[in-house]
Amino acid sequence: MRHECKCGGTIPAGRWDIGFELCLECGDWTARQRVFTVAPGHKSNYHLVTNLQELKQLNPKRLNDG
């Protein structure tokens, strides 16, 4: 069975079988549009940060607002 991407490109059967609904070119473009920051926590794990305010809260030496 032939699977087509939104752009009209062909999605390989193996890629479709594992759940991808985009061709390689569209998948690459989509992945480059998403931006994340990974910050190390103080004496703990790494944190995936998608919000700037959350990143500011992770800094143990931040100045108090006020």
Calculate the average pLDDT of the chain. Answer: 81
Q: List Cα–Cα distances, 42 to 5, 9, 36, 52, in angstroms.
A: 43, 46, 19, 17
Q: Is the per-residue pLDDT at 66 higher than 70?
A: no
Residue 65 scores a pLDDT above 70: no
The predicted structure's pLDDT at residue 60: 65
Among candidate residues 23, 27, 25, 12, the one with its CA nearest the CA of residue 1: 12
What per-residue confidence (pLDDT) applies to 17? Answer: 92
Residue spans of the domains in the chain: they are 3-33
pLDDT band at 50 (very low <50, low <70, confident <90, very high): confident
Query: Per-residue pLDDT averaged across 2-6, rounded?
Result: 86
